[in-house]
Amino acid sequence: MSAATALLGSALVGSVSPALVVARSITFGITLLHSVLAGGLVGVFLTDVAHLPVPPVVTAALVSILISVLTAEAINRGLPEDSAIATSVCLSVTTTVILTYYLSFMSPLGVSKAMSYVFGTSALATAGDVARLAATAIIVIPLIHMFWGEFKYVFFDPEGAYSMGLRVRYYRYLLYSLTAATATSLAMSLGVLLTHVVLTAPGLIAVRAAVRKIHAVAYASSLLIMASGYVLALALELPPSAGVGIFASATVIYALLGVRKWSAY
């Protein structure tokens, strides 16, 4: 199961990471993981305290997509992207702190569940994790490739896109929502920390090293980082996020220092 989650996770990252880099939204993708943790805690609170049959993965996805749409709308209304992202982080972190505080009194097991979302349970992956990642990949990957040209144009030159009749708002909604769905699926299976580590590197490497084969390089580098990281973590008896982090950092440094030319994606 762990091999399957690593493979599916690398496919998801390989599709979304280049889009975030090209759209100059890497910071958004990383900070969105705060909303995933907040949404997961909402689910834990509802199941363990309120005793409502609401799976944490559902609340995590809903909260993450909601915050991503609100962030996109704030940007569309003229708020600078960094300010919109900072506002979403403030909301997510506040929710996380409050719920963690109450769960520590009402449900000690709930706090343990919350920590499992942070560190991940990819070493003990289940069939549900594999099914969730597969379902997300089936939805996300085709849409990223289908609207790749629109994403590049809308985020690179929104005024020109407006003048050509492209629906800039909806394409921003779409990319941010796909990122939210990917971040949720990865974080619920691999952990927030591991998702932080791996979400950025493949896109940066691909845009740095490739000219016309960005996606091929992104998929290959994502698979290499995930597989090598898992093997290293297993050999050193470390959490998967540690092994993946070592390889992700090494490959990014190599791409920055060893490849001289940025591609004209």
Parent domain of 157: 2-258
Confidence of residue 137 (pLDDT cuts 50, 70, 90): very high
Does residue 79 sit within a domain?
yes
For residue 87, give Cα distances in angstroms to 20, 55, 91, 94, 116: 19, 26, 6, 11, 26
Confidence of residue 164 (pLDDT cuts 50, 70, 90): confident
Give the CATH number for residue 87. 1.10.3470.10
pLDDT of residue 262: 45
Q: What is the mean pLDDT of the chain?
A: 81
Residue recorded with tokens 């629109």:
150
Does residue 264 sit within a domain?
no
Does residue 199 sit within a domain?
yes
Q: Does the structure show a pLDDT above 80 at 111? A: no
- Cα–Cα distance between 209 and 66 in angstroms, integer? 34
Question: DSSP code of 50?
Answer: S
Q: Which of 70-79, 99-108, 135-144, 224-233 has the lowest mean pLDDT?
A: 99-108
Per-residue pLDDT of 23-56, as tens digits, reads 878 888 888 888 888 888 888 888 888 888 888 8
**Coil, strand, or helix at residue 241?**
helix
Per-residue pLDDT of 211-242, as tens digits, reads 678 888 889 888 888 888 888 888 887 777 77
Q: Does the structure show a pLDDT above 50 at 130? A: yes
Domain total in the chain? 1
Q: Does the structure show a pLDDT above 70 at 123? A: no
Does residue 124 sit within a domain?
yes
Does residue 82 sit within a domain?
yes
